[in-house]
Structure formats: C-alpha cells, structure tokens
Amino acid sequence: MSGADNDYIQWGWWTDHGAGRSYVLVKEETSVMISNMLAVTLALSLTRLLVFVKLGWNWLTMKIQACAYQPTQADETDPLLQGMDYDDTDLQPIPPAHRRHNQTLDAINATISNAPSLESIPGRMLRRYVFVPRPTNATPSQERSLRTWLSDQTRHMKAHSWQATGGLTLSVLFLAIFAGYQVIAVYASRIVGSITVRSNSPYSGSWSPNIPDSPVHITNTSVLTMDYNSEDCALFYKRRIGHYEHHNVTCPYRGGLCSQGMTSAFELDTGFQSATIVGINLKHTAQFRFKMVCSPVVAEPPYIRSKIIDSFGTRQVDYLYGDGWGIVNDGNKTFGEVVQDPAHTTWAPAQYMIREIKGNVLRLPGSTSPRQWIPELDVPDSRVFLYFILPLNILYTNPSTDPIFPATVLAAHMEIGNPLYTTPNQHSTVLACTDSMTFRNPMSNATWFPRYQNLSQLHLPEWKHYHDVVSSLHIMNASYLASELFKSRYTSLADYSNAPWHIHDFYSSPLDPEQWKVEARRIFEARLSIFQYHFRGVASGQAHSLPHAENALKNYGVDARGKVLFQARGWKNIKVLETGLLLGVCVGLWVAPIEIGDTVLLIWVMRKIKAQLDQKVIGDWFQAVLRGLKRR
C-alpha cells in the first residue's frame, strides 16, 4: 500500500463483522501512548487495594487488642473513662497467648512500615513470622536435609499458628498486589489489536480498461507471480486460506487424456469459506469455494507433432491442445518450440522452461473470443490452465519416474562416481489444472458460478433479498476475474515453482517422489494469494488511472469504500471491549475504597464487636462502656 493510499485509510470507530468486535483505529504512535497511559492508570489504581489490606489489618489489630484488654486501677481514674459505670464482676484473666498476639501485631506493623518497597514485604514476612530461621553458627551436625527442614517448619507453624497464619496471609496479599503490577503491564498492551484497516479511497472498486475481447487480448499490465511466502501476503486480512487435499480423484479430462489413469488426479479444495476471511466487511456475506484439480496429461501424438530439423537430433515440436492464447490461428496448435536432444547436453546454465497457458473458458454467452481448448479439455464451470515444463541442460542425481519430471536415462557420472540421469523426453511434459469458483448464499443455499450464468439470476428471490450478500459476491467475483485482465497469458511458473530450487550449477538434487503434486500445491497457493491480492486492489482502486478505465462494481451498484479490510503498517486498532473493562476496573479501584470500603468495613467491624458481647472476655467491659456512654 503506497503512501497515497495511506491518506485514504478510514480511522476511528469501526466494527469487524467477521470477528464480531469493535475497534478504534489510530496511528501506531497514538496506540502506544494510550497503552502506556492505561498501564500507568491501572498501576496507580491497584495501590488502592492497599487501603483494604490496611483497613482489614487495623480491624484485626483492634479486635485482638480489645480481646486482650483488662482494666486496671489507673484506667478507672482516667478522665476519659470517668462517669462510666463499671460492673463489679471481675474480668477473666488474660491468657498469655493474647499478650504474645499483641507483641506480634506490633512487630508485623513495624515490618510493614519499615519495608523499603512493596515487593520486599512478602519476603520479610515469610522470613520473620512463618519459617524457622537457620542458625547463623550452625555446625555440620546441625545441617538439615530438605525433609528435616520441612518437618521443622511444620512444627513451628503448629506451635505459632496465629503468627504463621497472619504472616503468610499478608505475604500472599502483598505478593498478589505486586504480581498484579506485572499482569497489568502485559494486559494493558493487549488492548492494542491488529493493523487491520479500511480504505476510504474514492477510487475503491474493480477497475479495468474498457477494451473489447479480441484476438489481440489485453496485454499484461501487472504481472503478478506471488505465493504465500511473499512479504506482501502479510498485508492480507488473513495470511492464509486453509484447504483440503484429496489424492487419486477422478480426472476431469476426457478421451483418455490423463496419462496416469482416470483416478489419479490431485484435488485441492478450500471448501465453502465466508467472504469475511478475505476481508469483506459486511454484516452478511456470501461464501466462496475455490477448487483446483490437476493431472499430468498425455504428451504424445495426436497431441504433439514433432520432427527432426538438424543433424544433432534437434526437433521442432508443436503442441495441439487448442488455441489457448487465441493468437496462433493454426487449428488446434497451441504453440511450438525447438527442443535439443537430451543426449547432447551442453554445459549451459541448467534451468526449466515453464510456460503457463490459460484458455478463455470463462467467456460470456455470445463471446467471439478464439481462445479455447480442444473438447477433451472442456470442463464445465471451470477454467483450464496448461503448464508446459521443459528441463534444459539439467542432470539429476537420482532417477525419477515422476510423469512431469522424469529422469530415467543414465547420462554421465560425477567425479566421485555417482551417476547422473536426464529426461527421456525431447518435448515438454504437460500438467493440466482446472480451477473453479463457486459462490453460495448461506441464507438460501443458492449457488452461482462466475460468468456461466446470466447476471440476471442474481435478481431471483434467493439472491435479490440479500443486498449485502450480493454485494460481497460482486466484490469476490471481480477479484477472481481480475487475473484475466492483469496477468499475462505467458508467464513464468518458475517464479513460484519448487523444482528450480533444487538446481545446483548443472545438476538437480533429488526431487520429491511426486514432484508434480508439490508444484500443483504451489500453483493452488499462488492462485489463492493472487485472489487475495486483488481484494487489496479493490480497496485502493488499483488501475483506476489506466486509459478508459471503468469500475465494474459501479455498474452493479456496489460501493466498495470501507467494505474491504486489509493490513497496513503504521496503524493500530484499540480494542473497545478490553479498554472499557480496564477503565471500569480503574474507576472501581478508586471509588470502592472511598465510597464502599469504609462503609463495608465499618459494618463488618460493628457486627464482629456485637458478636463479642456474649463472650465473657470483653462482654462485661463492653457493657460497662455502653452504660457510661448512655449516661453522657
């Protein structure tokens, strides 16, 4: 996406209907600032939990001190207690444990107050009040094993249960608060989502030159041979579209054209996928299914014509599968080439000559295009591609019986004695692939094939009542057919095929046992990536500046602005739901200790004190205090 296209990116609040989530699109630097602000706000808010810890600990301290209190003669003469009517009943003597509790409370309060930082409090609590400290002058005989140490800790905790429980509880509380800071830092960064954007370009649409179909068809304007390894694929709405593979399926070509038999084809199928997976952002969308079936086809007479043209065994080879280019005008002749005898291998660079020829089987009714295959290659509701693969000066280190990459003739030996093999053919091998696209309305289950049915069928009840579904269908159909206009009839499959990567100098390392299926898989993935690429073209209005360019989507009443999603660097989405939850937590942590915490804790404390009225330890004293307050 160019800098000019970035000017048309639609920022602000939006909804991803495919994911069912709302976002706010902002610049990347703005998203970093927002994330940091939320992290700081949450960190400050989390300290409000210390209010609850402090109030709870103060209440516990007051309760224990009240239980341990015993009036003395000095208390009876205290001016603050004058006028209080004390009962003459003697109070119960204070158990020694209460005095130890009071001392422990003071020590724990001092530990908390003197701690240099929050994160140091749990460790200090555990060392001083929970675990038995190791003697500083321990002798070797006093060295304890792990089992002995655990036994000592258990006895210590039982003997000082209150001290150990209080210290352990506070340690866990402070440790949880400290850990919360770390969780906040991670979670606050999660409010920043993907780099998915919408284009607000006024040129959004499917643009193409208004040139009629003719023998001199549109020349290539944007040769695109990419696969899923391309960096550009990272900018698709979804990096990959999943698919299924089926081996040994029925070959779609007739007349014994399949060289490996009628049940040897290789099928790759996406199944029906929602249009949201390719970035169409509408509430209701159509589904698409892209399927490709490949099979090696016969490369022998009557489908090829060959003759020797010199004393070196060089041959002129003509291929007779139909005028797929529409420019040969020589019956069924597809094209011709000169092929040298493999036995006379020259020490020229080793390479593959790979030709991709696409027949125009997606023609509208009444089209006069001469581009067509022989009847054996006519597959209903599909378009057929032929790949002619010719190895040039390649020797193989291993023999191969692959029908497309055969290497069965012993040609030479390497210096260390390993044999080298070459192809037995003096012509290109031919791989035929047919692909088909099917669109379906998930609400009515109606299906539609690109260009095979009249567009008026989209006005039938099973389509016309679903405006968003039909709009998404038109966008997908335009993206699928765009490759017919912006991809040349003669391209180099070597740019995204696998076999050339095995070439080292003059020889090829061993290929896959079924290398032709590896290539078919690469072709399929390349088609999917090109299909996805054209959605970005729709979003940005690619080719709108070409001479006599027309927007096909406008003719169908479809406005593509803001309806196609893709990835764009320099932008980030803020997740609305997560941001709202974090802000709610911040407000709750600030309001709860002030408005709720004090009230709740006061009620809790008063209830606890009331429950103590029946206990002899402080009941008489508390009744005396109440009587004194009533007199005043």
Domain end, chosen from 567, 584, 612, is at 567
- In percent, the amount of the chain with pLDDT more than 90 equals 20
- Which whole number is the average pLDDT over 43-69? 60
Q: Mean of the per-residue pLDDT values for the chain?
A: 74
Say if 196 falls within a structural domain: no
Q: Which residue has the tokens 């002619």?
A: 388
Cβ–Cβ < 8 Å for 362, 383: yes
Q: Provide the number of structural domains found in the chain.
A: 2
The phi and psi torsions of 154 (rounded to 5 degrees) equal: -65, -45
Whether residue 503 sits in one domain with residue 431: yes
Residue 488 is predicted with a pLDDT of 42
Residue 200 is predicted with a pLDDT of 80
Alpha-helix residue ranges (DSSP H) falling in 401-454 = none
Domain end, chosen from 531, 547, 567, is at 567
Whether residue 580 sits in one domain with residue 561: no
Which residues, in sequence order, are CB contacts of 25 under 8 Å at separation 6+?
A: 9, 10, 11, 12, 14, 197, 198, 571, 572, 573, 574
Whether residue 622 sits in one domain with residue 590: yes
Residue 331 is predicted with a pLDDT of 80
Query: Tens digits of per-residue pLDDT, 162-199?
Result: 666 666 777 777 777 767 767 766 777 777 877 788 88
Say if 216 falls within a structural domain: yes
Rounded alpha-carbon distances, angstroms, from residue 410 to 315, 349, 416, 423, 439: 21, 20, 16, 9, 50
Say if 200 falls within a structural domain: no
Residue 223 is predicted with a pLDDT of 34
Whether residue 66 sits in one domain with residue 87: yes
- From CA 515, how far away is CA 513, in angstroms rounded? 6
Whether residue 533 sits in one domain with residue 617: no
Residue 46 is predicted with a pLDDT of 65
Query: Tens digits of per-residue pLDDT, 449-475?
Result: 886 556 788 888 999 889 999 999 999
Residue 107 is predicted with a pLDDT of 60
Look at residues 232, 224, 235, 227 and name the one whose alpha carbon lies nearest to residue 278.
235
Whether residue 342 sits in one domain with residue 446: yes
- Which whole number is the average pLDDT over 243-256? 93
Residue 220 is predicted with a pLDDT of 37
Say if 199 falls within a structural domain: no
Residue 38 has pLDDT above 50, yes or no: yes
Query: Tens digits of per-residue pLDDT, 93-105?
Result: 434 444 444 455 5
- Which whole number is the average pLDDT over 422-429? 92
Whether residue 177 sits in one domain with residue 237: no
- From CA 217, how far away is CA 211, in angstroms rounded? 8
Largest CA distance in the chain: 137
Say if 201 falls within a structural domain: no
Whether residue 223 sits in one domain with residue 253: yes
Residue 507 has pLDDT above 70, yes or no: yes
| Range(s) of the domain holding residue 397 | 207-567
Residue 528 is predicted with a pLDDT of 86
Query: Tens digits of per-residue pLDDT, 539-576?
Result: 888 777 877 788 888 888 888 888 888 777 788 888 88
Residue 626 has pLDDT above 60, yes or no: no
Residue 65 has pLDDT above 60, yes or no: no
Say if 198 falls within a structural domain: no
Residue 49 is predicted with a pLDDT of 62
For 577, the enclosing helix (H) or strand (E) is helix 576-591
Amino acid at 379: V
Greater confidence (400 vs 153) lies with 400
Say if 387 falls within a structural domain: yes
Whether residue 582 sits in one domain with residue 555: no
Greater confidence (579 vs 270) lies with 270
Domain end, chosen from 567, 596, 619, is at 567
Which residues, in sequence order, are CB contacts of 586 under 8 Å at separation 6+?
A: 38, 41, 42, 45
- Which whole number is the average pLDDT over 48-53? 62
Query: Tens digits of per-residue pLDDT, 336-374?
Result: 999 988 877 666 788 898 888 877 544 444 455 556 788
Whether residue 455 sits in one domain with residue 506: yes
Cβ–Cβ < 8 Å for 340, 362: no
Whether residue 551 sits in one domain with residue 609: no
Residue 471 is predicted with a pLDDT of 92
| pTM summary value | 0.69
Whether residue 563 sits in one domain with residue 603: no
